[in-house]
Structure 1
Amino acid sequence: MAVSGDEIADVVLKQFETWEKKRRPLDRTNGTREWVPLSGIVFEERTKNSLKCVASATGMKCLPQKQISRAHGVTLHDWHAEILTIRSFNHFILRECQAVLEAEKFDSEYVRRRDEQERTESHFQPFALKDGIAIHMYCSEAPCGDVSMELTMAAQEDATPWPAPNLDEPLLQGRGYFSNLGITRRKPSRPDAPPTLSKSCTDKLALKQGTSLLSSLTSLLVSPENMYITSLVLPSSQLSTIAVERAFSTSGRLSALKGRDWGSGYAFKPFRVLGTEREFAYSRRQTSAKEFVPSNLASSWTPHGNETVIGGTVQGRKQFDVRGASRVCKRRMWRLAAEIGGKAMLPLLEKCLAGGSYAGVKNGELLRHRKFVKEDVRKVMGGWLRNEDGEDFEIGGVDP
């Protein structure tokens, strides 16, 4: 029997209940409650009929475009709950690979070594997800961007769509001009906030249907073949069937990708969207508070540890300080991947990860196939402006 949305949501919500109080939004003494989105990734082991949360996070902010060049790989660009969860998931997978290499008798529940016979020149990764595991993702709010536009319309006193402006700009503000549907959008923000080029969570999740949940670095070590989301779970109060079909399915804006198979473990694999009647205790839909205000805390969890960040930097450190580098920031993830690559004793992989700039690694020959997949999906989606800068840093220097 297929797992239900309620069952998946319950696993993530139950795991959140174990978080320390300091990592949760505040209930203020004046009756105001902070709210924040929660997201989580759940593994379903089908042979055991078991569900386990392997990554979860809260968060709702990102860096303005003008500050990207200051990040230098140590400050997160985007810590919306969905994106921080995916980054945490990649950290979890890398740590599982590391454990397999470092302990001869360690057998990861989820990751396995690939035989030499499995590996090819274009499908070279030394690790893979074990067979029989399905991946599910839960979000306590509709992902920002196109999936949330019907909700935005319904929240207006007058739900009549605003007239579309004559803009040359192909990428619109997060919630601006909601009569434009099926388009790539920026993260939403206040009108007076500095602009960002960080794409909406809807668009980033849509892209993952082609590239898998693996980041560039993780995909150098782990096959993307079984790393796709099987189902996305949203509260029924946040679920617009029309919106999710338009944004994610091959009956909507991604119709040109139906049946696409790029080889080397990459294929277009749309996820199903399930509803749940469960509501997160710190959503905006709880009735126990007089007023709701956004939380500035973002926290992440995996079985390998937890972390809280503010402004993309570990809580208690100054923004852009190398000592405040998150465990899931680009520089620390690169260093972890390089350590694993060295232990895997695959010369081409080790050479790719060992030196040069972060941009050089991403543009290297081993990631050429993945880059083609990304470009193909982005072309179909349209309006995807790159968030340039911030990738010319090197792995050397001060250890975060």
Structure 2
Amino acid sequence: MTSQADLVAQAVLQQFYKLPSKRKPAVRDNGVHEWVPLSGIVAEKDGILTCLALATGMKCLPASKISQSNGVGIHDWHAEVLAMRTFNRFLLDECENILEKDDESSIIQRKMSTSNLNDTPLQLFEIKDGVKLHMYCSEAPCGDASMELTMASQEDDSAWETPTPADAKPGGDAQISLLGRACFSRTGIVRRKPARGDAPPTLSKSCSDKLALKQCASLLSAITSIFIDPTNAYISSIILPRSQYSDLACRRAFSAEGRMNLMAGKKWLGGYSFREFSVATTGLEFEFSKRSVQTRADKISASNLAATWSRSGFEENIIGGVIQGRKAFKTDGASQVSKRCMWEAANDLASRIGGASSSTAICPGGETYRHLKQGQLMAHRRQVKDEAREMALSGWIRNDGGSDFQLEKRSNHWHH
């Protein structure tokens, strides 16, 4: 009998297979076969599993480029992170649709009770009770949840030995406190991407760290949390291929028995609480996983192409954080899931909910994205994240560069 984990994986894999070949890893002219990680978000509603968003990708923006990213360049497009961004774009699009007409088949609905709208006047929507959200990942999330797998694949022991200064703590030298792939003997710590020592340094936190935090802050991004109540927006389970699963590592990285133990049972204002996801395994393999590609090719290489697909009706190719073929960080290169496009979509949605003044209420006139993130509408979410970082994920160094952009005034506010 097919397990639930297999069905979740299948929902994502089948959706990926339907994509055109230009969204998939290629065989290069020199015979090198490319591989890539895949991740997707699946909703379970009335026993039916539906893939809502998926993404491939495995790179992130070097720290040196963050300040130029202009709200256009995505900072981190590892598959898991890009899939979560795409899912959040799906949710914003879904809110727009429901404003036009209620849709029985949607996973979201207008809130039944509006008693707490004082704090969040635009939070009119919620994910329906009884909807479960699952996440499939074709590779173990980078960072703490994959340390044992990474150790097992080392050909020498040198990576174990990188010395760590005793005073490497939050607020210390970011490059020291956030190890990438060094110091394997130290587990349960916040790590940064990339895992490769020869790649330019970044401040992006590992996918293990980001997923651990989502157990407190929900799958909602800052922008979607303006409109959607987080109560039902948590990951219920993460599905990994058997070959990519270490029970020890996952328990340590994610569970209340591991580094999240101080979060157990916590509740915060605004519908947030610590909601531990389960981790289950599937026997299915993704046809472009590193392992699958290795079985059919001698020479393999990581793909530099990332792709997104959303059930709300868009799909994209992303290279270097922008749409393939566009110039870096010019606004026409912004993906639907970039900060800039998400903010624009949020302004449109706010105006439709409450007139033009609502979009200025999200972020009063002419302010930057940084002001938006620091605004009153996100206060509860900020408190959750700050506490989780302080108590469970210490060593997390904020990477809020690239937040000083503003939106241009648009003549046609209703363009879609």
Q: Same fold (TM over 0.5)?
A: yes
Number of the residue aligned with 1:52: 50
Structure 2 unaligned runs (5+)? 170-176
Number of the residue aligned with 1:216: 222
Number of the residue aligned with 1:197: 203
* Residue pairs, 1:138-153, within 5 angstroms: 138-153=136-151
Number of the residue aligned with 1:373: 384
Number of the residue aligned with 1:267: 273
SS at structure 1 position matched to 2:296: coil
Could you tell me whether the CA contact under 8 Å between 2:59 and 2:194 is conserved in 1? no
What is the letter of the counterpart of residue 387 of structure 2? D
Residue 349 of structure 1 deviates from its aligned partner by 6.8
What is the letter of the counterpart of residue 235 of structure 1? P
Q: Deviations over 1:178-205 (max 9, x none)?
A: 1110000001243232210010011000
What is the letter of the counterpart of residue 269 of structure 2? G
Mapped to 1, the partners of 2:228 and 2:116 lie a distance apart of 11
Residue 389 of structure 1 deviates from its aligned partner by 1.7
Please, which of 338, 344, 349 is the counterpart of residue 353 of structure 2?
A: 344
Number of the residue aligned with 1:111: 108
Residue 118 of structure 1 deviates from its aligned partner by 4.1
Residue 119 of structure 1 deviates from its aligned partner by 3.3
Which range moved further: 345-354 or 24-33? 345-354
Could you tell me whether the CA contact under 8 Å between 2:351 and 2:358 is conserved in 1? no
Residue 123 of structure 1 deviates from its aligned partner by 5.5
Relative to structure 1, the CA distance from residue 224 to residue 2 in structure 2 (aligned partners, 3 Å threshold; closer, same or farther) is farther
Which range moved further: 237-246 or 106-115? 106-115
Matched, 1:18 2:18: yes
Residue 31 of structure 1 deviates from its aligned partner by 4.2
Relative to structure 1, the CA distance from residue 194 to residue 159 in structure 2 (aligned partners, 3 Å threshold; closer, same or farther) is closer
Residue 144 of structure 1 deviates from its aligned partner by 0.6
Mapped to 2, the partners of 1:184 and 1:336 lie a distance apart of 32
SS at structure 2 position matched to 1:261: coil
Residue 361 of structure 1 deviates from its aligned partner by 1.0
Identity among equivalent positions (%) equals 48
Q: CA RMSD in A?
A: 2.1
SS at structure 1 position matched to 2:186: coil
Q: Deviations over 1:75-129 (max 9, x none)?
A: 111111000000000000000001112x246556111111454434336511111
Mapped to 1, the partners of 2:222 and 2:277 lie a distance apart of 21
What is the letter of the counterpart of residue 394 of structure 2? G
What is the letter of the counterpart of residue 283 of structure 1? S
Number of the residue aligned with 2:77: 79
Number of the residue aligned with 2:371: 360
Please, which of 147, 151, 154 is the counterpart of residue 152 of structure 2?
A: 154
Number of the residue aligned with 1:293: 301
Number of the residue aligned with 1:40: 40
Mapped to 2, the partners of 1:166 and 1:100 lie a distance apart of 52
Number of the residue aligned with 1:392: 404
Could you tell me whether the CA contact under 8 Å between 2:350 and 2:358 is conserved in 1? no
Mapped to 2, the partners of 1:60 and 1:86 lie a distance apart of 14
Relative to structure 1, the CA distance from residue 217 to residue 117 in structure 2 (aligned partners, 3 Å threshold; closer, same or farther) is closer
Relative to structure 1, the CA distance from residue 289 to residue 65 in structure 2 (aligned partners, 3 Å threshold; closer, same or farther) is same
Q: Deviations over 1:246-287 (max 9, x none)?
A: 000000011000100113210000100001111110111120
Q: Deviations over 1:114-164 (max 9, x none)?
A: 145443433651111122110000000001101111011101134697235
Mapped to 1, the partners of 2:74 and 2:181 lie a distance apart of 23
Mapped to 2, the partners of 1:383 and 1:37 lie a distance apart of 26
Number of the residue aligned with 2:173: none
Could you tell me whether the CA contact under 8 Å between 1:334 and 1:353 is conserved in 2? no
Could you tell me whether the CA contact under 8 Å between 1:123 and 1:223 is conserved in 2? no
SS at structure 2 position matched to 1:267: coil
Number of the residue aligned with 2:63: 65
Mapped to 2, the partners of 1:66 and 1:230 lie a distance apart of 36
Please, which of 259, 282, 285 is the counterpart of residue 253 of structure 1?
A: 259
Q: Using structure 1 for the length normalisation, give the TM-score.
A: 0.94
Residue 322 of structure 1 deviates from its aligned partner by 1.4
Number of the residue aligned with 1:95: 93
Matched, 1:281 2:287: yes
Mapped to 1, the partners of 2:214 and 2:317 lie a distance apart of 25
Q: Deviations over 1:29-69 (max 9, x none)?
A: 55421000000000000x2x100000000000011111111
Aligned residues: 397
Matched, 1:308 2:314: no
Mapped to 1, the partners of 2:396 and 2:102 lie a distance apart of 45
Mapped to 2, the partners of 1:131 and 1:353 lie a distance apart of 31
Could you tell me whether the CA contact under 8 Å between 2:346 and 2:359 is conserved in 1? no
Matched, 1:185 2:185: no
Relative to structure 1, the CA distance from residue 145 to residue 291 in structure 2 (aligned partners, 3 Å threshold; closer, same or farther) is same
What is the letter of the counterpart of residue 336 of structure 1? A
Which range moved further: 187-196 or 55-64? 187-196
Could you tell me whether the CA contact under 8 Å between 2:86 and 2:309 is conserved in 1? yes
Mapped to 1, the partners of 2:395 and 2:185 lie a distance apart of 16
Mapped to 2, the partners of 1:382 and 1:88 lie a distance apart of 27
